[in-house]
Chains A and B, each alone.
Chain A
Amino acid sequence: MLQLLPQAIVDGLLIGGIYITVALGFSLAFGVMHIIDFAVGEWIMLGAFLGYYLTQWTGADALVFLPVVFVVFLGVGYAIQPIIHRAISGRRGNPVLMGLVFTFGLMLAIRGLGLTVFGFYSHSLSSILSAKSVFLEKGGLFLTVPVIRLTGFVYALVIMAALYWILKKTDFGLAVRALSQNREAAGLMGINARRISSWVYGIHVGVSAMTGVIIGCIFTISAQMGGDYTILAFFVVVLAGMGYLAGVPWAAFLLGLVQSFFLIFGNPSYTMLAVFVILYIILLISPKGLFAKGV
Chain B
Amino acid sequence: MRRLAVAIGAVLLTAGLALSAGHRDYFKVGVITSLSGDLATGGNVTKRGYDLWAKTVNSQGGIEVHGKKYKVKLYYADAQSEPSQGASGAERLVTQEGVDFLLGPYSSGVTLAVAPVIEKYRVPMITGSAESPLIWRQKFRYTFGTIPPVNYTGATPINLLAGLNPAPRTAIILGSNDAFSKATAEAFKAASEEVGIRVLKYNIVPAGQDLIPLLSAAKVMRPDLIAFGGHDEELINLVKALRQINYTPKALLMHYGVTEPAFVEALGKDAEDVFGASVWTPTLHTRGTLLWKDAVTYARDAEAAYGVPADYTQAGCSAAGIAFQAALQKAGVTPPLDDGEREALLKALEELDIETFYGRIRFAREGEYYHANIGLDALTVQIQGGTPVIVGPAEFAEAPARYPMRPWNER
A interface residues with partner B (beta carbon < 8 Å): 3-4, 7-8, 11-12, 15, 111-112, 115, 120-124, 126, 130-133, 135, 142, 144, 146-149, 218-220, 222-224, 228, 259-261, 263-264, 267-269, 271-272
Contact A269 B237 (CB under 8 A): no
Chain B residue numbers with a CB within 8 Å of A130 are 240, 243-244
Chain B residue numbers with a CB within 8 Å of A222 are 40-41, 233
Contact A224 B246 (CB under 8 A): no
The residue from B205, B219, B232, B266 contacting A142, defined by CB atoms under 8 A apart: B219
The count of A-to-B residue pairs whose CB atoms sit within 8 angstroms is: 121
Contact B237 A259 (CB under 8 A): no
Contacts A122-B41, A130-B244; A220 near B213 (Cβ below 8 A): no
Closest to B232 in A: A122
B210 interface residue (CB < 8 Å to A): yes
Bound: A120/B265 CA distance, A = 13
Closest to B263 in A: A122
Contact B237 A219 (CB under 8 A): yes
B44 interface residue (CB < 8 Å to A): yes
Find residues 238-274 in chain B having any chain A CB closer than 8 Å to their own CB: 240, 243-247, 260-262, 265-268
Contact B203 A260 (CB under 8 A): no
Bound: A139/B210 CA distance, A = 28
How many chain B residues touch A (CB < 8 A): the figure is 42
Chain B residue numbers with a CB within 8 Å of A261 are 213
Contact mask B145-181 → A, CB, 8 Å, 1/0? Answer: 0000000000000000000000000000000010000
Chain B residue numbers with a CB within 8 Å of A228 are 208
Contact B36 A224 (CB under 8 A): yes
Contact B203 A268 (CB under 8 A): yes
Contact B203 A224 (CB under 8 A): no
Bound: A219/B266 CA distance, A = 11
Closest Cβ of chain A to B226, distance in Å, is: 15
Contact B266 A269 (CB under 8 A): no
B interface residues with partner A (beta carbon < 8 Å): 36-38, 40-41, 43-44, 177, 203-206, 208-214, 216-217, 219-220, 232-233, 236-237, 240, 243-247, 260-262, 265-268, 408-409
Bound: A70/B388 CA distance, A = 39
Bound: A36/B47 CA distance, A = 36
Contact B212 A269 (CB under 8 A): no
Contact A259 B213 (CB under 8 A): yes
Contacts A8-B213, A146-B244, A263-B214; A224 near B265 (Cβ below 8 A): no
Closest Cβ of chain A to B359, distance in Å, is: 26
Closest Cβ of chain A to B293, distance in Å, is: 29
Looking at A112, A120, A218, the one whose CB has the most chain B CB atoms below 10 A away is A120
Chain B residue numbers with a CB within 8 Å of A115 are 36, 40
Contact B206 A120 (CB under 8 A): no
Contact A133 B244 (CB under 8 A): yes
Contact B209 A271 (CB under 8 A): yes
Contact B203 A218 (CB under 8 A): no
Contact A120 B212 (CB under 8 A): no
9 interchain residue pairs of minimum CB distance: A146-B244, A124-B266, A260-B213, A263-B213, A121-B262, A11-B213, A120-B44, A120-B40, A263-B214
Query: A115-B36, A146-B244, A271-B205 provided; 20 other pairs, C-beta below 8 A?
Result: A7-B216, A11-B212, A12-B213, A15-B212, A115-B40, A120-B41, A120-B43, A122-B232, A123-B262, A124-B236, A124-B267, A133-B244, A144-B247, A219-B240, A223-B40, A263-B213, A268-B205, A268-B206, A268-B214, A269-B205
Chain A residue numbers with a CB within 8 Å of B213 are 7-8, 11-12, 259-261, 263-264
What are 18 sample pairs from A and B whose C-beta atoms fall under 8 A apart?
Answer: A3-B220, A8-B213, A8-B217, A15-B212, A121-B261, A122-B233, A123-B265, A126-B268, A130-B240, A130-B244, A131-B408, A133-B244, A144-B247, A260-B212, A267-B203, A269-B206, A271-B205, A271-B209
Closest to A219 in B: B237
Chain A residue numbers with a CB within 8 Å of B36 are 111-112, 115, 224
Closest Cβ of chain A to B406, distance in Å, is: 14
Contacts A121-B262, A122-B233; A264 near B204 (Cβ below 8 A): no
Contact A146 B206 (CB under 8 A): no
Closest Cβ of chain A to B244, distance in Å, is: 3
Bound: A135/B409 CA distance, A = 14
Bound: A5/B220 CA distance, A = 13
Looking at B44, B177, B240, the one whose CB has the most chain A CB atoms below 10 A away is B240
Chain B residue numbers with a CB within 8 Å of A271 are 205-206, 209
Chain B residue numbers with a CB within 8 Å of A124 are 236, 240, 266-267
Closest Cβ of chain A to B242, distance in Å, is: 10
Chain A residue numbers with a CB within 8 Å of B204 are 268-269
Closest to B220 in A: A142
The residue from A8, A12, A133, A220 contacting B240, defined by CB atoms under 8 A apart: A220
Contact B203 A220 (CB under 8 A): no
Closest to A11 in B: B213
Closest Cβ of chain A to B268, distance in Å, is: 8
Closest to A121 in B: B262
Closest Cβ of chain B to A55, distance in Å, is: 12
Closest Cβ of chain B to A217, distance in Å, is: 9
Closest to A137 in B: B220
Bound: A178/B247 CA distance, A = 51
Contacts A124-B236, A131-B408, A264-B217; A219 near B244 (Cβ below 8 A): no
Closest to A4 in B: B217
Contact A149 B217 (CB under 8 A): no
Bound: A106/B219 CA distance, A = 43
Contact B262 A264 (CB under 8 A): no
Closest Cβ of chain A to B247, distance in Å, is: 8
Bound: A222/B261 CA distance, A = 14
Chain A residue numbers with a CB within 8 Å of B267 are 124
Contact B409 A146 (CB under 8 A): no
Contacts A11-B213, A259-B213; A149 near B233 (Cβ below 8 A): no
Bound: A223/B43 CA distance, A = 14
Closest Cβ of chain A to B311, distance in Å, is: 12
Closest Cβ of chain A to B10, distance in Å, is: 34
